[in-house]
Structure 1
Amino acid sequence: GILHDSSIPISCITIDEAHCVSEWGHDFRPDYLEIAAIRRQFPEAVCLALTATATISVRQDIMQNLQMKNPKVFTASFNRANIFLEVKPKKNALQQVTDCIRRHRDESGIIYCFSRKHADELTASLDRMGFSVLNYHAGLSDKVRADHQDKFIKDKVRIMVATVAFGMGIDKPNVRYVIHYDMPKSLEEYYQEIGRAGRDGLPSHALLLYSAGDIHKIRFFFEDSADPEKAEMLLKGMTQYASTRKCRRQLLLGYFGEVLKENSCAPEECCDNCVCGPVPDLDVTIPAQKFMSCIIRTKQRFGASYIIDVLLGSKQKRILENRHETISTWGIGAGIEKDDWFALSEALVEAGYIQKYGEYNVLVLTKDGQDALVQRKTIKLPLLLHQSTVLNAPQQKKSSNPMFMLHKKGAFVKTLGENDLALYEEIKEWRKKNADEQNVPPYVIFGDKTLEELVEKKPQSEAELLSIFGIGTAKAEKIGSQLLRIISERLE
C-alpha cells in the first residue's frame, strides 16, 4: 500500500488521539508505537500529534515514542468553564439518574456505564419509565450502533446510555449533561467524556455517581492490565478527585499541569464543593480512634476496604481465615455507613494521621496518628457524611444555583412569558422540521444559543437578523424570511 512506497510524496503525518502512543496515557495501544517506523520511512514529512487528554508525562512520552526532536508544543487550556462539576455518593443510582434527566427535560444527555450489562439494564429501565433513550456499546452490531448514534446526533432520541466505546468523533454541540453511572478508570477518561457536553459553550452539567464498590470493580480487571501499577496510579487520581472536599476544577486542571487562576470562575458555576462553601470541621475523635485502633489490631497490613469490613462486623472468608472476628475492633463501627467510613479514611490520610503504602494502599499510622491515638487527642476534620447520624454531622446545604440545578436553557425558558414561550417552541419546532427534511441534526440549522437570541431580541429586519449569534449572510438569505415571518406573526 501507500505506506510501503517511500517514493510517494507525503508532506504531513497526523496522529489523532496521540495519548494512545504513551504508556502513561489512559488508553495506551502498543500498535501506536509502530508509527515511529512510518515516520522514519518519510523523514521529510511534518509530524502533527493531537490529543485532548495529555498530562505532562504523557506529552513527554509522545515526543519520545514518535521520535520528535525539539518539537513545538501547543497547549490550550484544559478548563471547560461552562461545565458544572458535581459528584454524589451513589445511593439509589436509578433515582439519582432520573432526577438529573428530569432537571434537563427535553435536552440531550449521555450516561456512561462501566459495562455492557449495566448499559443494557439502565437503558431498559429508563425506556420502561418513558424516557427517550437508546444504548451503545461494542456488543451491538455495527449497523445497530450506527443507527443509534445517528438518531442521537439528529435529536431523534434524547439520551444515550453507553460504555467508553461511545464518543470518539462525536461533535454534537448541544449535549447538556454527562452522567457517569459508574466511576471511570482515570481522570483522563473522565475529562474526555465530560468534554462531550457543552461544545456550544452553553452551561452544561457533569454528574459523577461515586461508590467505593466501583473501585473494587475496576481493580478486578487490573490482572488483565498490561501494567497494573500504572492502572492503580491512574485510578488513584480518579478517587482523589471524587473524594476531595476542595475545588474539583482546581484538582482536575492541576492533574493536567494547569493552574486555575484566582477568581477565574464564579463559585456557583464551578463545582458542588465551591457552591457549598468550606466544609465545617467535625469532631470525629471516637470513630477516628476506632479506625486507627483497627489498623493497629490488624497489624497495619491491610487497606481501607478490609479495615472497614472488620469495623462493620463482616464475616467474609478472608476475615474469618485471619481470625479478625475475634479482635476487639470487630463490629464496633456498625452504626456508621460504609461510605462514611471511606470518607473518614480519606480525611485521615489527607490530615496526615495515616498513610497509604504500596500497590494495595495498605494503611499505616503516622507519628501524628500514633500520638493522637495514645494521647486520646481530639480530632476535628473537614468532613461531610452521607447518612450516618452517629456523628451528628451537619447537613450539606442545598444549592440554589440555577446552573447547579438546570442548564441555562432551562432557566431561560422559565423566565419567558406565555407569548415568548410560544415563540420559542414554534421556532424550535420549525428548526426540527427543517432538519428532518434535510436529514441533518437540528444544530446544523442553528444552535440553541441562536434560538435563545431570536426569542430574546425578536429581529424584525434582515439587518437585525444578522446581529443574531450564528446567523451570517448565507444563512439569512436561506432561512431569514421564514424566521422573520414567524416572529412578526407572534408580534401582531
Structure 2
Amino acid sequence: MEETRLLGTLKEYFGYDSFRPLQKKIINAVFEGKDNLVIMPTGGGKSICYQLPAILLPQITLVISPLIALMKDQVDGLTANGVAAAYLNSSQQEAEQQAIFQKIGKNELKLLYIAPESLQFVDKILANGKVSLIAIDEAHCISSWGHDFRPAYTQLGYLKNRYPNTPVIALTATADKATRNDICRQLNIPLAKKHVASFDRANLSLEVRPGVKRFEQIASFIQNRKKESGIIYCLSRKTTEELAAKLKAKGFKAEAYHAGLKHEERMSIQDGFINDENQIICATIAFGMGIDKSNIRWVIHYNMPKNLEGYYQEIGRAGRDGLPSDTLLFHSYADVVQLQKFASNAANEEIQLAKLERMKQYSEALTCRRKILLNYFGEHKQEDCGNCDICKNPPEFFDGTVIAQKALSCIYRLKGAEPVTTLIDVLRGSQNEAVLSKNYQQLPTYGVGSELSWHHWQQYILQLINLGYAEIAFHKNNHLQLTKAAKKILFEGEKVHLAQAPDRKILRQDSAESIKKSDNSLFEKLRQLRLKIAREEEIPAYLIFNDATLKEMEKERPMTDEDFMQINGVGRRKMQDYGYQFIKEIIAFHKDKRERKSAKKGKTYQVTGELYKEGLSVEEIALKRKLAATTIYSHLIKLYDDGEDIDLKKLVSRPDLESVRKARKALENPGSLKVYFEHFQEAISYENIKIALKILEKEG
C-alpha cells in the first residue's frame, strides 16, 4: 500500500499526521497478507493497526473482543470518525441484529465487533473471501499462561482453518515470552510476525507506599485533582463500596463498581465516568477493560495486584493521551496472604504464585521501578527513569542498628500483641487512647523514638520485616512479633543497615499551579465546550477530542480551518462536525484575553497618573512602583494622549525642547526617534525626544 494513501487515511479518519513506532510496519504486513502478533502497551495505538487497514480493505474486518463495553466504546469512536462500524452481541434485540446482517450482506460495514461466544451468529453469512481481516483483541485471554485466561477464547483457533486466506492479527497489551508463543500456537498462526513495542510509558509516574492509613493518603492525593478522572482498584467488592462512601462524605464525586451490581447499574456508573460526570471509580478489576477513556489522569491500587501483567495493564489506563499521569500502589503483607489464598487450588496455581512473588518483589524494591517492569517484559533499560518514587528519592543506606534495637525492644515490651500502628505510637510517645488505655506510657520504650516522624518509623519497621527480624501474624489480628533473628540485634551485637527513608515532603513536589488547571485557561474553556457537545450528542467527551488535542489547541491557537486541521487528533469528519465551535471559542478567548490585558494596562496607567497628581517626580513614581523610569514616561505620554491633565513641559528642559523643534524642521519630520537620537549624537535621551515631539505635535 502506497505511503501517501496510508497517511491520507490516517489524517482523514484519525486526525494524525504520522504513525507511531511499529504501526506502519504492522499495517504493511497486514496488506501483505501476513499473520501478526502485536504486543503493544495500553495507549500505544494498537487499534489503528487493524482499524486503518479495515477502512482500505475491500471486505469486512472481523474483530473479536471480550467485553460488550469495549465493543461499544470502539464502535462509538469509529462512528465519530466517520467509519462504518457495528457490534453484535447476545443482549441486542433480533431486529437490531437483522439490520446489521443486512448491512453485512450489502458490504456496507467496514468493521464488525463480536464476542467469541457470539461467533456462531455470523459464521453462516461470512464465507471465506468475505472477510478481509480477522483481529483478535486482548489475545492473552487465550493462554493459561496469561494473567486473564478466558476459556471462551480457546475456540478461536478454528478461525484460521475457516478462513485460511485471511490474515489474522492478534493484539494484547501485556504478554511475556511464554504467553506470546502460546497465543500463536493456539490461534494456528505459528509463522506470525511478532511486533513488540516499547513498554516504556514514560508519561506515567510510578509510586509505591506502605498500605497504612490508606484512606488519609488517598484523600490527600486526590485533594488537588478534583477535576481529574481516576480509578482506585480494590481487591474486594466491600472495599470498593466503603471507600466510595468515605470519599463521597469528603465531597469527592466517587462511585463503586463491581460485578455484584446489576447490569443496568454498572452501565450507568461506567457511562457517568466516561462522560466526566463522576471523577472517581472505586472498582474491582472487573472495571476498566472496556474503557477507552483517554483522559484518566491517575490510577491508585488500594490493594496489591496479583501479578505484574495485571498491574501494568491497569496503570496503563491512565494517560492514554500521552500527558503526564500518576500511579500509586499500596503494598501490604495482608494483601500478599490474601492473594496467595486466591491462587491456591487454581489450575495454574504454581504460575500464579510465581507471578505474585514477582509482584511482591516489585513493591519492595529499592531500585528504579520502571527498570523492573521493562525487564519483566523483556525490554532492558540501562538508565534509571527519573519518574518513579525510587529515582526521585534514591535511598541511602546508614547504620540503623540503634533504630532497629529500639523497634525490636518495643515489640518485645508489647509482648507481640500489637500491630505496627500501635508500635509506632508507643515509640513516638503518642498520648492517644490506643496507648493510654493499656498503660503503655509506663513502658521503658515509651517515647524512645520521638525524634523520628511517623512516616520514617513506618518505613524502617517495614524494612526490618523485609529483613526477617520481625513478622506480621495475620492470624492474630496483624500483630507484630519478633523472629529468632531479632536476638542477634538485641543481644549479640549484630549491625543493621537500613535504607534512608525519603522525606514525605519531597516525595511529590506538586505545586498548586502544576495540579490545578485555572478555570480561566483556554484548556478549561475548550474542555467545557467539549463536555457541552458530548452531552448534547450523548457520547463520551474524549471521543470528540482527547486532552492532548485540546492542549495542542491551547498552545497553537488555530483560528482558521486550515490551521485547525493541522492539530493532531483533528480529522476531516471532526473538522466538519466541531471545527466551527472550537475555533469560535479560541477566537473569543483570544479577544477576551486581549481586552483584559488592555484593561490591566489601563489600570496601571491610572496608578501612575494618580501618583503624578500627588506631586511625585518620575523617579519617585518609578521607585514606588518598582518600574523603570522609561515605563513611567510611557504611562504619562499615554495619559497625555487620552486628555488627562499632564504637563509634559515639566518633564523636559526648555533647551531640549527648542533643540528638537529646530531638528524637526531641519530633518523634515522624520518618523524615527533613532534619527533624532543620532542627530543629537546621543546628547538628548530617547524619552526627552519623545516627550518634546509629543508637545510639538499638540502645538502644531
Is 1:273 matched with 2:393?
Answer: no
The one-letter amino acid paired with 2:463 is: A
Query: Partners of 2:551 and 2:351 in 1: how far apart?
Result: 46
Query: Partners of 2:545 and 2:155 in 1: how far apart?
Result: 42
Q: Contact 2:240 / 2:256 at 8 angstroms: preserved in 1?
A: yes
Query: Partners of 2:306 and 2:523 in 1: how far apart?
Result: 41
Aligned to 2:212: 91
Aligned to 1:487: 589
Query: Partners of 1:339 and 1:277 in 2: how far apart?
Result: 14
Q: Contact 1:285 / 1:380 at 8 angstroms: preserved in 2?
A: no
The one-letter amino acid paired with 1:441 is: P
| Cα displacement (A) at 1:343 | 2.6
Q: Contact 2:294 / 2:547 at 8 angstroms: preserved in 1?
A: no
Query: Partners of 1:198 and 1:149 in 2: how far apart?
Result: 18
The one-letter amino acid paired with 1:343 is: Q
| Cα displacement (A) at 1:102 | 1.2
The one-letter amino acid paired with 1:272 is: D
2:235 to 86, 92, 114: 114
Is 1:478 matched with 2:564?
Answer: no
RMSD across aligned C-alpha pairs, in angstroms?
A: 4.0
Aligned to 1:50: 171
Structure 1 residues 229-248: aligned runs within 5 Å: 229-248=350-369
Q: Contact 1:132 / 1:157 at 8 angstroms: preserved in 2?
A: yes
Query: Partners of 1:314 and 1:201 in 2: how far apart?
Result: 48
Aligned to 1:437: 536
Structure 1 residues 57-72: aligned runs within 5 Å: 57-72=178-193
| Cα displacement (A) at 1:48 | 2.4
Q: Deviations over 1:109-137 (max 9, x none)?
A: 11111111111111111122221122211
**Higher deviation after alignment, 231-240 or 480-489:** 480-489
Aligned to 1:160: 281
Structure 1 residues 20-419: aligned runs within 5 Å: 20-262=141-383, 265=385, 267=386, 270-284=387-401, 287=404, 313-314=416-417, 340-347=460-467, 378-382=495-499, 384=501, 395=503, 398-399=506-507, 401-402=509-510, 410=515, 413=517
Q: Contact 1:108 / 1:155 at 8 angstroms: preserved in 2?
A: yes
Query: Partners of 1:184 and 1:71 in 2: how far apart?
Result: 31
The one-letter amino acid paired with 1:399 is: L
SS in 1 for 2:242: helix
The TM-score, its normalising length taken from structure 2, stands at 0.54
Query: Partners of 1:315 and 1:455 in 2: how far apart?
Result: 55
Q: Contact 2:525 / 2:585 at 8 angstroms: preserved in 1?
A: no
The one-letter amino acid paired with 1:241 is: Y
Q: Contact 2:233 / 2:300 at 8 angstroms: preserved in 1?
A: yes
Query: Partners of 1:434 and 1:41 in 2: how far apart?
Result: 44
Aligned to 2:109: none
Q: Contact 1:136 / 1:161 at 8 angstroms: preserved in 2?
A: yes
Q: Deviations over 1:184-243 (max 9, x none)?
A: 111111111111100111000011111111111212222352222222111111111111
Q: Deviations over 1:36-81 (max 9, x none)?
A: 3454454444332211110112112222333432321111111111
Q: Deviations over 1:403-452 (max 9, x none)?
A: xx7896x36x36xxxxx826554443333222211222222333323434
The one-letter amino acid paired with 1:440 is: I
Aligned to 2:139: 18
Query: Partners of 2:532 and 2:133 in 1: how far apart?
Result: 42
Query: Partners of 2:323 and 2:403 in 1: how far apart?
Result: 46
1:22–1:467 CA distance, 2 compared to 1 (3 A): closer
Aligned to 2:16: none
Is 1:8 matched with 2:110?
Answer: no
Is 1:451 matched with 2:559?
Answer: no
Query: Partners of 2:504 and 2:268 in 1: how far apart?
Result: 43
Query: Partners of 1:445 and 1:48 in 2: how far apart?
Result: 28
Q: Contact 2:208 / 2:331 at 8 angstroms: preserved in 1?
A: yes
- Unaligned 5+ segments in structure 2 are 1-119, 420-444, 450-456, 470-482, 596-700
1:149–1:380 CA distance, 2 compared to 1 (3 A): same
Q: Contact 1:178 / 1:196 at 8 angstroms: preserved in 2?
A: yes
Q: Contact 1:6 / 1:42 at 8 angstroms: preserved in 2?
A: no
1:7–1:121 CA distance, 2 compared to 1 (3 A): closer
SS in 2 for 1:218: helix
The one-letter amino acid paired with 1:346 is: N
Q: Which has the larger radius of gyration?
A: 2
**Higher deviation after alignment, 429-438 or 193-202:** 429-438
- Unaligned 5+ segments in structure 1 are 292-307, 317-332, 350-363, 385-393, 415-419
SS in 2 for 1:184: coil
| Cα displacement (A) at 1:277 | 2.3
1:97–1:309 CA distance, 2 compared to 1 (3 A): farther
Q: Contact 1:185 / 1:218 at 8 angstroms: preserved in 2?
A: yes
Q: Contact 2:460 / 2:498 at 8 angstroms: preserved in 1?
A: no
How many residues were matched structurally?
A: 425
